Amino acid sequence: MENAKIVENAAFNLIKQAVIYLPKDVKQALEKAYMEETSEAGKTQLKAILDNIELAEKYQSPICQDTGTIIFYARAGANFKNLDKVEEALTNATRRATKEVPLRPNAVDPFTQKNSGDNTGRFIPYINWEIATGDTLELTVMTKGGGSENVCVTGTLVPGEGINGLKKFVIEAVIKAGAQPCPPTILGIAMGGGVDIAMKLAKKALLRPLNEPNPNPEIAKLEKELFEAANMTGIGPMGLGGRTTVLGVHVEYAFRHPASFPAAVAFNCWAARRAAARIHTDGTVEYLTHKEKV
């Protein structure tokens, strides 16, 4: 099979895996939250979430009717063949998945308000490129729901306030978001760079598995502190009150300009859908996050 078709098939499988099966770490975090929840209302919500996950797997249906915006992360080995065909392959995979899985058509022209009907359009599916050494292509898909997207925020903080300014920014974002992003959510947080860089890093941080803290121990400590603080809000599952408002907090950073302290908070709903695969030049595909056959 030619290279482009292999990439298309792999991307199709990744989208299908992502929208039907939640990654193991997210499922485990939701199960743990259910076990530990003390609020009756919160517990009922978590039970419904777990039942829904099971039903989606059983009937091979998308977990949520909002199958999100399709975003790819492509880490391309410089020696991977036919890199110029990858974009087209990912677009074709998105069209096919929309029809065959099926997905809800979620790509709308902001000027004419017209829905393309197939989840593709200008810049969509969006591809985040990264060039690496070697000859493999590592593809990750995130299907990002609208409810959690609507509460993502960026800001430029006062550099003199330091990390305390960031902590305040995060807590206020969580409180303002309330029930809207379908909690328990995952928070991707980033500081530094510029506002665009911070949001890009924050969103990418949503892909990190929940059981992997930041390798920098100081940042890992900040993640833990913000995780506990966010869960102290008491917003709870679906905003009905309870112990679990967030399932995880991931912090990333870039160096900043002396006069600026850009910050970003990205939210992902409990249906935190992602799937990844590594494609080798010889055409073999290794699925990294999902063992389920699709």
Residues forming contacts to other proteins in the complex (CB under 8 A) are: 40-41, 44-45, 47-49, 51-52, 55-56, 59, 61-66, 102, 104, 145, 147, 164, 167-168, 171, 175, 178-180, 182, 225, 229, 232-236, 238-241, 269-271
CA-nearest of 87, 82, 128, 120 to 283 is 82
Shortest Å distance, C-beta 262 to other proteins: 20
Contacts of 3 (CB under 8 A, 6+ apart): 81, 82, 85, 283
Shortest Å distance, C-beta 7 to other proteins: 28
CA distance 7 to 14: 10
- Please name every residue paired with 248 in a beta bridge, in sequence order, or none if there are none: 186
DSSP state, residue 267: E
Nearer to other proteins, 72 or 270 (CB): 270
Shortest Å distance, C-beta 48 to other proteins: 4
Nearer to other proteins, 60 or 79 (CB): 60
Shortest Å distance, C-beta 36 to other proteins: 18
Shortest Å distance, C-beta 196 to other proteins: 27
List C-alpha distances in Å: 293 to 10, 19, 97.
12, 13, 15
**DSSP reduced 3-state for 89:** helix
Nearer to other proteins, 86 or 174 (CB): 174
Nearer to other proteins, 49 or 90 (CB): 49
Shortest Å distance, C-beta 174 to other proteins: 9
Which amino acid is located at 114 in the chain?
A: K
DSSP state, residue 116: -
Q: How many Cβ atoms from other residues are within 10 Å of residue 51's Cβ?
A: 10
Nearer to other proteins, 125 or 147 (CB): 147
Q: What's the burial of 240, exposed, middle or buried (CB within 10 Å: 0-12/13-18/19+)? A: middle
Which amino acid is located at 105 in the chain?
A: P
